[in-house]
Chain A
């Protein structure tokens, strides 16, 4: 039975790149444990001889030609949504600390 510890929640938050407040850590510890306990009812189900389903309508790989298509997107318009732009490029914070 999944009963998450504070460390578990912090690890999940770290893996998910989510900064949490102290109150959220407490709240999520209880709520996420409850949700995981609910879904654990699947553990007892007999699934022998069954394969997992990944695609419900039976499609397999769908290919298209590897060629550039012009959808008419305007770079200037796409850049309008970017938080920080410098010389028509997306500016991000430094990666190496």
Chain B
């Protein structure tokens, strides 16, 4: 995968602002790389006209001395569940094929306001339901290090695109692993911020008590800058929280005396030997740099996936009820009446994984089962929150593997949905308790990337990024 690497995002933006670099050329570089690497199937659509027009506009602003912004002329790729004004937004699903976004996601709005240019929409598991992009209704994205393997999911198109230098950064969404797993499998940085830190307005909803938006980048520094642009309250998403008053790019890099707990449950016997060794080596380097490493436990962690696979489908079944074939999206025109039109359109428009989750969700929310499944899962969620609080009273951060295995083979888990779900085992905890978590490259094992997961308490995103950047430096 020899490709021309991009400069750091801040340098690209400064170059465009000063006129040393041209946005038009950056956009053409992105387009050429996407076309050259088309066989990886990372991209659903390249936004040729829109991107070229905006690049032209940015260059004109720069040459007339106007202040553009911190992402001036920087190309980026949006996961195809972000509404980008005027562009087709499918969430990689047949039911949304042909849907043109009549408005724009707040996150995209904020990136563009700082001069960034959306050059393409990236592939994902349809509606972000999956861990490999194999649930995309269109095609499966290939891993940048081994085309016979998956890139992870659901933001697999975004991760492969960033790894192959198609753009300096891409956006992702993370409901249970979807930014961090593909970041780990593709050897890039993937940040899942605190719940509510980035507005979800204009992003196709999956499970609203868990969904967050995060960047995929090549470095922690780039991730911090993109987060800083996207973060903060938004009237259009009432779950958003106050951002840090300090910039997320102002990072403390001191590792000395930092208390880091190695999460036992994320380093257990299920972790493959090569992954384990890579993580243990990283821990040794952190120790040598002065970090205080200890072991820590979240005893209920093994239950987290069961909690997740009740709450997530329950919320999915609710959010996906809006795809009814009447107002937008696929509609079966031979239906005899309205009720059949709903069932026919949804039955033919949704892929298998969406149907599975809708039906599981309907089951756990139905009267008679609600208390035993949904309410119980919400209560075990409280138990997890309390255990995380107790752990963070002892340590500043926690650390573990992102995934128990390296990237798996395409087709390896598609016959068994439960096995596919288990790929998320080490990641859903952060979503259930709302804390920030980041995957950074820890090294390689047998020619495949291994991700290191770092976690911090809620709203400590800036501190987490500082630790991640310092860790990135000691691992380099």
Residues of A within 8 A of B (CB): 2, 9, 12-20, 24, 27-28, 31-32, 34-36, 38-43, 45, 47, 50-57, 59, 62, 64, 71-74, 77-78, 80-84, 90, 92-95, 97
Contact = CB atoms under 8 A, between A and B. Distances in A.
Contact of B346 (A18, A27, A59, A64): A18
B294 interface: no
A18 B317 CA distance: 11
Contact of B235 (A64, A93, A95): A64
> Which 10 residue pairs are nearest across A and B when measured between Cβ atoms?
A19-B347, A52-B378, A56-B434, A83-B331, A81-B328, A62-B238, A17-B342, A47-B379, A19-B343, A39-B306
B209 A90 contact: no
Contact of A18 (B196, B337, B355): B355
Contacts of B363: 2, 12, 32, 36
A16 B196 contact: no
B376 interface: yes
11 contacts: A20-B355, A35-B309, A50-B379, A51-B379, A53-B378, A56-B432, A57-B434, A62-B239, A72-B103, A73-B103, A97-B339
A4 B414 CA distance: 21
A50 to B, nearest CB: 5
A90 to B, nearest CB: 6
B382 A51 contact: yes
A27 B383 CA distance: 34
Contacts of B433: 56
A32 B355 CA distance: 10
Interface residues of B, number: 74
Interface of B: 98-100, 102-103, 194-196, 209, 235, 238-239, 241, 300, 303, 305-307, 309-310, 317, 324-331, 333, 335-344, 346-348, 350, 352, 355-356, 358-360, 362-364, 366, 372-373, 375-383, 385-386, 417-418, 421, 432-434, 458
B390 to A, nearest CB: 14
B326 A83 contact: yes
Contacts of A53: 378-379, 381-382, 385
B324 A17 contact: yes
B235 A94 contact: no
Contacts of B235: 64
Contacts of A18: 343, 346-347, 350, 355, 358-359
Contacts of A80: 100, 102
B417 A35 contact: yes
A55 B209 CA distance: 7
The residue in A2, A13, A73, A78 that gathers the most chain B C-beta atoms within 10 A of its C-beta is A13
Contacts of B350: 18
Given A90-B326, A97-B336, A97-B337, 8 more contacts: A19-B344, A34-B418, A56-B458, A57-B195, A83-B329, A93-B335, A93-B337, A97-B339
